[in-house]
A and B are shown apart, each in its own frame.
Chain A
């Protein structure tokens, strides 16, 4: 038997198998879904903290992750592995690109990241970073922090500026007040204050990468539900930061509004002076917010109330401060 006979035999066997519907299906599965019998072939018994992994291990884990979460990436990777026309580095790059198609605003940069859960992209203000405030997009923020008597952009990485917590409490009340005006531009300004003091409620908008890392937070897993959650969180954070930047632009072009904001900051700062940051209840914050007035609004939103009403507002925990 020569080589030609062997090829003929193989061809006949293949033809015979494809003539049978069940064997055709089995062949198609073997061709396109080789992980069907063991979807945890690579990640089984693998401890991500064991150390550096080679490209093939990364590809293997990403390949089975893709089967669970990104079927098109799984199919692409299967074909790329089968074609034997790419190096492992090229295949790893292709898998990265494929996975990033499914992630919103939180890319993976190297396939090695596949071992450590979903990527987190912190968009929070880097309050102590000189580089952050040196960026022309962020430089005007220093002026707004200054209104709150908060110095930012110092290189001491592990401490927050003096007065930060008190300023955050004031900012929260002022954001409430701005939202009460129902003016879109003031709503943007409220978004700016939320972002500046990490009070948006969205982790990606509130924390920087470093802060998130230092928290030792458990990363989200490579599972469909977690991926959907992470995408929604990062998309929302992006919108929040965009809104904050619109608010910053608006404020920088409104000298009268800057004066009003400064005046309102001082007014609120005296009222929340003894309140710990997280002790200010929403109800009280709203009550205080109603006492403020803005340039478009000649009368306070609670004009019927007397100042005495506001003076009598008590704050839980105020004495503890």
Chain B
């Protein structure tokens, strides 16, 4: 059981961070004039932002769907694991 958890942790740690274009564009296009969000975009930047929005909404939808599926997982009894904390 422990080795399985270790494997899971190491697998998750090995997953590369997701590069979302929306986050990248927010960094690169952020104005230095006190505005919180980029607002004046040239046509090329606008096209990039539109593509990034499509990716971002798709990503958040997938995350929401994953959360919904995880919430519906049935509980798994771990009969052979001793949780010493309970005795404290």
Which residues of the other chain, B, contact A67 by a CB distance below 8 angstroms? 57
Which residues of the other chain, B, contact A130 by a CB distance below 8 angstroms? none
A28 CB–B CB distance under 8 Å: yes
- Give the distance to chain A from B83, nearest Cβ to Cβ, in Å: 30
Bound Cα distance from A84 to B54, whole angstroms? 22
B8 CB–A CB distance under 8 Å: no
A155 CB–B CB distance under 8 Å: no
B26 CB–A CB distance under 8 Å: yes
A141 CB–B CB distance under 8 Å: no
Bound Cα distance from A28 to B26, whole angstroms? 6
Partner of B60, one of A6, A31, A36, A75: A36
Bound Cα distance from A67 to B54, whole angstroms? 9
Q: A24-B23, A29-B56 are in contact. Are A75 and B36 (CB under 8 A)?
A: no
Consensus secondary structure, chain B interface: helix
Counting contact residues on chain B (CB < 8 A from A), the size range is 20 to 34
Pair B53/A25 contact, Cβ less than 8 Å: no
Which residues of the other chain, B, contact A18 by a CB distance below 8 angstroms? 26-27, 30
Pair A29/B49 contact, Cβ less than 8 Å: no
Which residues of the other chain, A, contact B54 by a CB distance below 8 angstroms? 71-72, 75
A7 CB–B CB distance under 8 Å: yes
A88 CB–B CB distance under 8 Å: no
Which residues of the other chain, B, contact A31 by a CB distance below 8 angstroms? 22, 26, 37-38
B66 CB–A CB distance under 8 Å: no
Q: Which residues of B contact A (CB under 8 A)?
A: 17, 20, 22-23, 25-27, 30, 32-34, 36-41, 46, 49-50, 52-54, 56-58, 60
